[in-house]
Amino acid sequence: MPQQDLRVSVVQNTLAWQDPESNRSRFGEMILNDTKNADLVVLPEMFTAGFSMDSKKVAEPADGDTLIWMEEMARATGAVITGSYAVADEKGGLPFNRLVWMRPDGSYETYNKRHLFRMAGEDARYQAGSERIIVELKGWRVCPLICYDLRFPVWCRNRNDYDLLVFVANWPAARSFPWSHLLKARAIENLACVVGVNRVGEDGNGHAYSGDSIVLDAKGKALVVPGSDRGVFSATLSAEELNAFREKFPAHLDADDFELL
């Protein structure tokens, strides 16, 4: 499909601690009321429960209520819905922090978080993924990643295989400076648009979150900056501007060759 402009809606809100039903209800209302004309709707990391390390309690079956809900939201809006939540391993291992990329036709892709946040014990409560994915939307090649992945530029590196990098997060306010600056760095170094979606409020462990969700063009310029406000914030990514910039400044042609083992 020829690349077209892409309308992105980021949903920034508080999360009810370990309460999937309440969170689905909150986000559902926001999605149905405030994401009109969106092509892509992005929810935070662990949007059903907050960043809980009680993984066995909050994990649900791969085909459980949240997957069904995401399909309903995608069909109702005609947009791709994405975000991560805890999913049980069918083989009986530790759960995954899994991002789902749900299309309006009910088909979907999944990405299991590669880099687990050891400072919170995530590496002991969840199972790491091993492969990143590239998905397509309106001619855009999209690489969706999760929170702590942002700190690892090799994993995020554009191998000339994506146009948009998406991060869903539960990134505490205490580290908001690295969050905002790393997102800009990922856009600039990869000549790609970047979307970062974070939560606001306080979680069940007393950690505060300041939001700071953002949509950036490939030059690192902010197109929408909601700060710490709750709500749905939308921006349109221009295919023409992205391709014109890459043609004028083709730094990607001089990138080093490498492989991830």
Q: What is the C-alpha separation between 201 and 211, in angstroms, rounded?
A: 8
Give me the tens of pLDDT residue by residue for the chain, a chain 261 residues long.
799 999 999 999 999 999 999 999 999 999 999 999 999 999 999 999 999 999 999 999 999 999 999 999 999 999 999 999 999 999 999 999 999 999 999 999 999 999 999 999 999 999 999 999 999 999 999 999 999 999 999 999 999 999 999 999 999 999 999 999 999 999 999 999 999 999 999 999 999 999 999 999 999 999 999 999 999 999 999 999 999 999 999 999 999 887 766
Q: What is the C-alpha separation between 142 and 12, in angstroms, rounded?
A: 20
* The two three-digit tokens of residue 3, written as one number: 């690349």
Q: What is the C-alpha separation between 156 and 163, in angstroms, rounded?
A: 12
Catalytic residues: 45, 113, 147
Contact 9, 195 (CB under 8 A): no
Q: Which CATH number among 3.40.50.2000, 3.60.110.10, 3.40.50.2300, 3.90.180.10 corresponds to the domain 6-250?
A: 3.60.110.10
CA dihedral of residues 183, 186, 187, 191 (deg, nearest 10):
180
Residues 6+ apart with CB under 8 A from 131: 111
* The two three-digit tokens of residue 126, written as one number: 């969840």
Question: What's the half-sphere exposure (Cβ side, CA atoms, 13 Å) at 4?
Answer: 9
